[in-house]
Structure 1
Amino acid sequence: MENENFIYCLEAVPDVDSVKATNVVQILEDIALTQGISSIYKTCDTIEGLEESLNALLYDDHHFQDYEIIYLVFPGEINNILINDYYYSIEEIAELFEGQMTGKIIHFSNLKVLDLTDEECQYFLDVTGARAISGYGFQSDSLSSAFTIDRLFFSLFYQNDDIKEVVEKMFQKQYKLCKLLDFRLYY
């Protein structure tokens, strides 16, 4: 059986019962067609919905080990995500994922700023078991990282899982955009 590349994407939306496909769904579909990277996409509008989606991934999806990237598309402020008008800190997110993300890359879109201290980074990695956490220092609703840098990051990662080399290649290929969005990787 051929090795497949998977992304698990969770996106915060105002109402999960809304049928409207977001830009992220269209981008993930295009990534699957053009880059051969499959994805599972889930939405949530509450922290309980986020927990349910995470539990479904962990306990019901037999391909969980194949998901190397957990892609979180959540608005928010620095080191906080916003779900249903409530902010959750990076520490709360780490506790939610406690011990469940061994070897995974947790990647945040640029709908929120990721600006971790060494202590915050180490806490997140220690609690979750994640291999790395990445995101952006520049937040923008109009300049979405999903259209460009996220796609490049996913593609390069599945070509070469040496995370440092991936970041070097990202900057070689899209230096101006990486600098503009302030791509950050913590490991």
Structure 2
Amino acid sequence: MNYEKFIFCLEGVPDVDDDRETLVVKNLEEIAIDQGIASIYKTCDTIEGLEESLNVLLYEDHNFKDYEIIYLVMPGEANTICLHDYYYSLEEIAELFEGKMKGKIIHFANLKVLDLNDEEAQYFLDITGARAISGYGSTYNKIASSSTIDKAFFSLYQDNDDITEVVEELYQKHYALCKLLDFRLYY
């Protein structure tokens, strides 16, 4: 299995200087070994760090076009992310990503709730240029989406470019987990 679609993962952590391996890193390694899906993993602890990591990917990585999934593993509350004890709205994130995510899928792990109305979703997609935004309506903390359903989502997307078909198949194969975590897709 040699896929041409990669994952760019940004994980929000309390301190980027702490070198401890997180569960997300282990899960990305498993995805690489078991499914052959390559990824780049970066941490950030501030909004500036998030922006810098994104700019390095955009302007210095010649394979950026191959990173179809931008995977954000960041705590927060409904429609916000939290970095360095400060909450940023999805509108602020959209403006940070303005025009830079053309054709990408922005996927949030279940560390935060993603609950957009049609207008908010369309704003995010229009500003960023993203193809879709996905995440979860539940932060059910006994199950980390990065260990379970995210892996299935990434795998299914490798084999099918039609994101709605991918989500339908995800629900068919993992219905109970999709319902429990309330998987959501905005496109």
Shorter-chain TM range is over 0.9
AA of the residue aligned to 1:122: Q
Structure-1-length-normalised TM-score: 0.98
AA of the residue aligned to 1:113: V
RMSD: 0.8
Deviation at 1:106, TM superposition (A): 0.1
Query: Which residue does the alignment assign to 2:11?
Result: 11
Query: Which residue does the alignment assign to 1:149?
Result: 149
AA of the residue aligned to 1:74: M
Query: Which residue does the alignment assign to 1:137?
Result: 137
Structure 1 contact 11–73 (Cα < 8 Å) conserved? yes
Which structure 1 segments of 5+ residues have no match? none
How many percent identity over aligned positions?
Answer: 72
Separation of aligned partners in 2, 1:81 and 1:68: 21
Separation of aligned partners in 2, 1:110 and 1:47: 19
Query: Which residue does the alignment assign to 2:105?
Result: 105
- Count of aligned pairs between the two proteins: 186
Deviations 1:111-140 (A, max 9, x none): 000000111000000000000000000013
Structure 2 contact 108–136 (Cα < 8 Å) conserved? yes
Query: Which residue does the alignment assign to 2:48?
Result: 48
AA of the residue aligned to 2:183: F
Deviations 1:17-71 (A, max 9, x none): 0010100000000100111100000000011100100000000100000000000
Query: Which residue does the alignment assign to 1:91?
Result: 91
Query: Which residue does the alignment assign to 2:66?
Result: 66
Deviation at 1:3, TM superposition (A): 5.1
Structure 1 contact 156–166 (Cα < 8 Å) conserved? yes
Taking the TM superposition and a 5 Å limit, the aligned residue runs for 1:110-121 are: 110-121=110-121
Moved beyond 3 Å, runs of 4+: none
Residue 141 of structure 2 aligns to a residue in which SS? Answer: coil
Deviation at 1:186, TM superposition (A): 0.1
Q: Does 1:33 align with 2:28?
A: no
Residue 140 of structure 1 aligns to a residue in which SS? Answer: coil
Q: 1:3 to 1:173 in 2, by over 3 A?
A: closer
Separation of aligned partners in 2, 1:4 and 1:133: 20
Structure 2 contact 6–39 (Cα < 8 Å) conserved? yes
Residue 38 of structure 2 aligns to a residue in which SS? Answer: strand
Deviations 1:69-89 (A, max 9, x none): 000000000000000000000
Q: Does 1:182 align with 2:172?
A: no
Structure 2 contact 3–36 (Cα < 8 Å) conserved? no
Which structure 2 segments of 5+ residues have no match? none
Structure 1 contact 5–36 (Cα < 8 Å) conserved? no
Structure-2-length-normalised TM-score: 0.98
Deviation at 1:142, TM superposition (A): 2.9
Query: Which residue does the alignment assign to 1:123?
Result: 123
